[in-house]
Every structure is written in structure tokens, then in C-alpha cells.
């Protein structure tokens, strides 16, 4: 069908695709293959609306390629393409988000290569679930932070500083700086004496 044709003609998305399909069970949705897509659709919609979301790690890994492909469709095909419109309509049931996609998110990536999203993993967290008969129930969570690049929020990882960790480099840099300072002092002294 058309899906096959389109997938063949689009460039590769620059993110890893998880090799084990996750079950993605959610309360209120009967588990099935269709339900999996429903859960993914919720995640994709939420990601586009909020631009940075915290999810369970496996769900974030699973949903990321879908977000990526949707943005790529917008970048490569534009809003007038029939298949793009169909995909946007299905993945973003809220109409204002389709507008956001075409007017805000896609223009960011016009001259950029994939990946358009970032995924960070948090250390495993123990969070309290509930208290039952004075018994505290804690659960371990693996949390991933999925975000669309170019968002207005503060960067999760600070920009990498051009600084070497090696002690030799640190000492050399200090020595050079001291040398420069002494040279500067000498120059000043000579100009004053004249």
C-alpha cells in the first residue's frame, strides 16, 4: 500500500529502533496490536504538545522513531502532501497540534539532518506507590526524558566545555597562563620606565 511506497522513498531516521516490541499496557485500553498504537499515539501527541516529556524508558525508546518519522514527513513532504496530511491527522487528533507541527516544529528542522529528537535516561528511581495497612509500597522506575530539539526549555545537558580532564593539560594551561601574565607585567614595567 501507500505506506510501503512512502517508507521506501524517505531517508532513514537517525535514531535507534528498539528490537523488542514493547507491550505498552495501559489502564482502560484492552491490550492488542491496535491498543499498542493507541498508546503510542497518546505519547506522540503529548510529546508534540509539551516538547519535553518524561516517560518510562522502554516507552520513550518505542515512541521516539514515530515522533521522528512524523517530523521528517513534515520536513520532506510539506503540509500539502496527501500522505503527510493523513498521518498528521491520525497521530495528532487535536487539530491545534497539527498547526503547531507545521508552523513551529517543522520550520526548525528545514536545514537540519535527523535526529530531531533527544532521549536521555535518568538513573533508576525508587518512588512510593501507595501505603497499604501501614506498609509502604515502593517501585523501581527507569525513566527516560524525550524531547523535541530546539525547545524553549533549559538544556538538559550543559554544553560540552572545551576542557581536557588530563592533569598534564591542566598544568600546561596554567603554566602558559602564568607565562602570559609575567610577560604582560614585564611589558607594563618597560612602558612605565620609558
Partner 1 sequence: MNEARARFFLNLRQSIDPLLRVLSNKSAPPPSLGLAFDISGMPPATLKSSALTYGSVGEMIKDFSIVFGVPKYRTSKPKKVTRKFSFTRLLQPIDNLVTCPACSNIHPSDTICDACYSKVHKLTSEIKKKMMEYNPYVGEKQDREVYVKFKGESEAPAAVVKGKRVIELEKDRPTWFKKLTLKE
The binding site for partner 1 (CB under 8 A) comprises: 49-50, 52, 54, 94-97, 99-100, 103-104, 108, 120-123, 125, 145, 152-159, 161
Please answer whether residues 89 and 98 qualify as being in contact, where contact means their C-beta atoms are separated by less than 8 angstroms.
yes
Q: Which is nearer to partner 1, 7 or 155 (CB)?
A: 155
Phi, psi of 52 (to 5 degrees): -145, 120
Residue 167 C-beta: closest distance to partner 1, Å: 15
Please answer whether residues 18 and 73 qualify as being in contact, where contact means their C-beta atoms are separated by less than 8 angstroms.
no
The residue assigned the cell 513551529 is: 104
Residue 138 C-beta: closest distance to partner 1, Å: 17
Q: Which is nearer to partner 1, 27 or 123 (CB)?
A: 123
Residue 26 C-beta: closest distance to partner 1, Å: 22
Show Cβ contacts of residue 41 under 8 Å, excluding neighbours closer than 6 positions: 90, 91, 93
Q: Which is nearer to partner 1, 36 or 148 (CB)?
A: 148
Residue 41 C-beta: closest distance to partner 1, Å: 17
Q: How many residues does the chain have?
A: 194
C-alpha cell at 40: 503510542
Residues 120, 13: Cα–Cα separation, whole Å: 18
Residue 177 C-beta: closest distance to partner 1, Å: 21
3-state class (DSSP) for residue 10: coil
Rounded (5°) CA angle 70-75-77? 90
Residues 190, 123: Cα–Cα separation, whole Å: 58
Residue 156 C-beta: closest distance to partner 1, Å: 6
Q: Which is nearer to partner 1, 36 or 59 (CB)?
A: 59
Q: Which is nearer to partner 1, 33 or 140 (CB)?
A: 140
Q: Which is nearer to partner 1, 155 or 167 (CB)?
A: 155
Amino acid at each position: 500500500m501507500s505506506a510501503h511506497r512512502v517508507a521506501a522513498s524517505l531517508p532513514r531516521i537517525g535514531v535507534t529502533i528498539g528490537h523488542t516490541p514493547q507491550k505498552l499496557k495501559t489502564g482502560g485500553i484492552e491490550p492488542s496490536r491496535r491498543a499498542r498504537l493507541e498508546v503510542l499515539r497518546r505519547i506522540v501527541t503529548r510529546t508534540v504538545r509539551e516538547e519535553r516529556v518524561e516517560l518510562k524508558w522502554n516507552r520513550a525508546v518505542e515512541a521516539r522513531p514515530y515522533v521522528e518519522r512524523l517530523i521528517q514527513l513534515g520536513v520532506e513532504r510539506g503540509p500539502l502532501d496527501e500522505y503527510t496530511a493523513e498521518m498528521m491527522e491520525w497521530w495528532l487528533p487535536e487539530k491545534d497540534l497539527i498547526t503547531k507541527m507545521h508552523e513551529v516544529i517543522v520550520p526548525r528542522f528545514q536545514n537540519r539532518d535527523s535526529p530531531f529528537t533527544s532521549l536521555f535516561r535518568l538513573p533508576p528511581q525508587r518512588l512510593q506507590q501507595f501505603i497499604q495497612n501501614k506498609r509502604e509500597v515502593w517501585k523501581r522506575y527507569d525513566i527516560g526524558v524525550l524531547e523535541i530539539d530546539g525547545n524553549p526549555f533549559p538544556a538538559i545537558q550543559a554544553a560540552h566545555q572545551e576542557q581536557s580532564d588530563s592533569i598534564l593539560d591542566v598544568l600546561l594551561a596554567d603554566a602558559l597562563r602564568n607565562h602570559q601574565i609575567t610577560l604582560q607585567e614585564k611589558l607594563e614595567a618597560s612602558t612605565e620606565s620609558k
